[in-house]
Chain A
Amino acid sequence: MSPTIKKLFVWGNVALVVLLVLSVIRDQSGEWKKYQKTYYQLEAKELETKLAATTDETEKESLKKQIRAKEHAGLEIKQFIVKDLGRIDRCVTCHVGMDPLFNPTLTNNFTEQPYKAHPGDFLKTHSPTKYGCTVCHQGQGLATTVKDAHGFVEAWEKPMLGHPFIQASCAKCHQNFESLPGAEVAADGRGLFVKNGCYGCHAVKGWGGVISEDLGEVADKPLARIDPAAFAANGLPRERWSAQSWITLHLTKDPMSFVPGDPEGHMSAPISPSGMPPFYLELKEDEAKAITTYLLSLTAEKESLPHKFFVDVPVKPEPAFKSATEHGKFVFQKFGCAGCHGVEAKAGRRNFNALGPNQTKMEDGREPTLPDTVGTFTRDELRAKIQNGVPSVSINKFKTDGPTPPLYMPSWKEKIKGQELEDLISYLLSIAKKTEEW
């Protein structure tokens, strides 16, 4: 044998043995082990202070025994196997204090994660052995490393929900979340969703406008259907790419800036940018958060929850109104007219490349500002307009060879009828600016 082969033989074997030893070490040093060990040590320390304070011999003996048990506790994967939901959650492998099997009171004095007990008394009413963790918190229950488990990794599209977005999970089961203590942000979000007229364009499970996407399962929107350039343009790192970020972006940035379309037709026929009006100008940060929270409760997961999990709520009757115009104002809000015509019909919102007053560029296109325009209609004309709508091809464009404006007035014939329609018309005529009588 040549010396080279002898050398290779020796070093090859050394490398092999080293790697095999390393693989044992790596397999035995799971990231979770240090957290579980620290938890037991913290508990042992607490018992030791107790031991120092006590004088009763039998109690001392018992405490010593307990301390020994804590110090020598075997480390293991702990998990909730949630049959009803088909989930396996291993979160308590590190968050031992939240496991009723090891911490029956579900309280402790530790203040730091992952050692502290679950805040509030949620676990009293939502036993983790029955519900697990991820049904509320999201994240990757099967994982046992910090990064993977919390779900901020590429292959996991539902990372953990932070505050206040976690309230979205209350609304998944509690249909009465609008009056549920602890779900105030989600409730506010739903209120803002109605008030700003989001329903006008976006239906939720079929109820609402047809102009844009149905948001009934928006929390599940797969990343493959979102243009990654939109995230990148807003400086979001890869691990923050999620449906949550996508929703928030729409409420805190101008949607036109990250869904720019191709209005000049560089790539093919002109495509207008996102038609969503710039709500970020009107919404405060916590309002945007509230709407995001509400929308994150809209998920197909609801469909797979066992019916016994649901807390139902009787349908609320609509309030009584003193006058026709007051009822009309309510109808205006109920059907989401504010989405395009502005809250309380104050000012028309942006509609790209639609012809508006004092226009210099396509971005200045506007939906009609109703107080300025409804006065020129008779009652019958207004009724026909609402019933028939204005298809996008009939909208006057600012730039004739530019893209078709994204927003249009759908036909409301099937939705707004009878008394609602009449009172809506009365309301609209009541807000019309009075033109000078000649």
Chain B
Amino acid sequence: MKDFKLPSPEEIKKIVTDSPIWRSVFRGGVWKDTPRDRAAHIIGNVWLHLHPVRTRLRGLRFIYSWGMGGISFWLFLLLTLSGVLLMFYYRPAVDLAYRDMKDLQFVVSYGWLWRNMHRWAAHAMVVTVILHMIRVFLTGSYKPPREFNWVLGVVLLTLTLFLSFTGYLLPWDQLALWAVTVGTNMAGATPLLGNEGPFSSLLGMRINNDVRFALLGGTAVGEATLIRFYVLHCVFVPFVVGAMLMLHFWRVRKDSFSAAPYSANEEKVEVWPNLIVREYLAAALTTVAILVWAFMVNAPLEGAANPTVTPNPSKAPWYFLGLQELLVYFDPWIAGVLLPNLIIVGLCAIPYIDNNPKGVGYYAYKERPFAWTMFLLGVTMWFVLIAIGTWFRGPSWAWYWPWESMLTHKPLPPRTWNVPNLLGGPALLAYFAGGLALPRLLKKDLDWKVVIPAVALFSVAVAIAVKIAHAVFISNLPPLAQMLPHLDPASLKYGFVSTLLGIGDGMPHFGIGSFVLVSIFVFLLSFFGVLMPQRYIRNMELLRYVAAMLLVLLTLGVLMKMGARLGFNIKYVFSIPQVNFNI
């Protein structure tokens, strides 16, 4: 007995890994860390075999990939795990759902942890998916042969938002009820299919048979909505997302894994351990971040849902606040249906419009200035709109500066006015026709050193012209109410005089702020809408050019309308109320 020695860890490892049980479970023999072992580890493992065996180091760099695709997938797995655990306690019924949330918070072991993690991981996933898309755009990784995978990515982004949105309702608190009410009301404005949308009467849409009704399972958010959203959130959408992810990953792998360009004699490194450790790190550090977040901040839970008590303001989830803010500038069917669909279609169309072969697999602002500028302009506008909706809108959606308390009361906003159709119609036509034609008609290369100051001067000149017109025609007019006390201002919508009076009411002053605003917006429009396309895409083939310019003009159009509404109280530039066509 005295000769007995405990086996060393190395010996134990050998005994275990050589045992028939181990050998039957794991393929391959003893791990010797040879290149063959490392390759076999990838090929022979069902979870890892989607990876190549060897890959190029430059595709692995964090600064290249940001790791956002992988992190999004990890968050999806984390959400699935936490979601399944929450499902053990949560019952989707109006009498029980809210109480179950309280139980999770107070008495279920680790209920607080899983719920907090689920909530924050969901927000984080929306962010990482968007960042992933931005990175893929900036490195041109959607260019052939990866166009379709970009489209799948856009679909996955939409599904991510929908997953998050359907989950929003489940706690059945005031936040849930009203955010979903706001969100689904937009669906009611769908043209043809929503009972408040244009042309819906043609299909016989009523409040109880339109697309909103289908979404809610009723005319208002209630029991049926809860079970619908529950099934969508827990079963249907995750299933679709899972299937799409398989496709997405499969295409990544088949399209040679990374778009980073090849260079001669480039050294390849083994995926095990070089990529696997990075993936593990991304997952681990993401988990650490979500855990810390879950420790520091509890997931919000307001009072129990009460359909008879509307909080003021009622805000949609943050990622839809941009669309809710758009409601200020456009009718619901445009803000809530047309524009989001155009964004999705426009994003999908990008790889098919952009035929610039340069800048695949690296950050190439110099080689793709137009694509970068327009994409980043769109992304910036999206987040600016979200920021406005989140921090600048208070009760009754009034504008509050960050230094103003939301407890103070705001005067009613000034009266808005419509540009008469005789003026607005041609202006709108000129905007699109001129916007399409002008960059293509100017055949010469323009010298920006000369043109940009000239455009700046032009912008100021426009502002001066507007100021003079305002001084001559409008500012001397007495307010509408005084001039026509016996007339209902609404009935005066179409007369030219009444329009002038309406402007006078809505815009009694044209001060220095308005002056600067006009100059800036005219300059932005000229620069992004004319100079940029003139320089970079005027020689595109016609169909591509038109598609690209339409996206550019629509994006800038939204910006211009925001300026017109915020700065000058213009409600509609062109309006045919009979068919709900108001721009």
Contact = CB atoms under 8 A, between A and B. Distances in A.
B274 interface: yes
Contact of A229 (B106, B109, B112, B409): B409
Nearest to A145: B106
Contact of A144 (B95, B99, B107, B412): B107
A22 B295 contact: yes
B429 interface: no
Given A90-B106, A224-B311, A267 B409 contact: yes
B505 interface: no
Interface in B76-116: 95, 99, 102-103, 105-107, 109-110, 112-113
Contacts of A12: 281, 284-285, 288
Nearest to B280: A9
Contacts of B303: 155-157, 222
A232 interface: yes
B106 A148 contact: yes
A98 B430 CA distance: 79
Contacts of B287: 16
Interface in A208-248: 222, 224-225, 228-229, 232
A155 B173 contact: yes
Nearest to B175: A155
Interface string A1-12: 100010011001
B285 A228 contact: no
A144 B109 CA distance: 13
Contacts of A8: 281, 285
B102 A142 contact: yes
B315 to A, nearest CB: 13
A236 to B, nearest CB: 12
Nearest to B411: A267
A222 B304 CA distance: 11
B281 A9 contact: yes
Contact of B301 (A20, A22, A155, A228): A155
A311 interface: no
B295 A229 contact: no
A308 interface: no
Contacts of A27: 109-110, 112-113
Interface in B405-430: 407-412
B292 interface: yes
A143 B106 contact: yes
A267 B414 CA distance: 10
A322 B174 CA distance: 57
A114 B43 CA distance: 63
Contacts of A142: 99, 102-103, 106-107
Nearest to B302: A155
A231 to B, nearest CB: 9
Interface string B302-320: 1100100111100000000
Interface of B: 95, 99, 102-103, 105-107, 109-110, 112-113, 173-174, 273-274, 277-278, 280-281, 284-285, 287-288, 291-292, 295, 301-303, 306, 309-312, 407-412
Given A16-B284, A142-B107, 20 more contacts: A1-B277, A5-B278, A5-B281, A12-B281, A12-B284, A16-B287, A16-B291, A19-B291, A27-B109, A86-B95, A88-B99, A142-B102, A142-B103, A144-B106, A144-B107, A155-B302, A222-B306, A222-B309, A224-B174, A224-B310
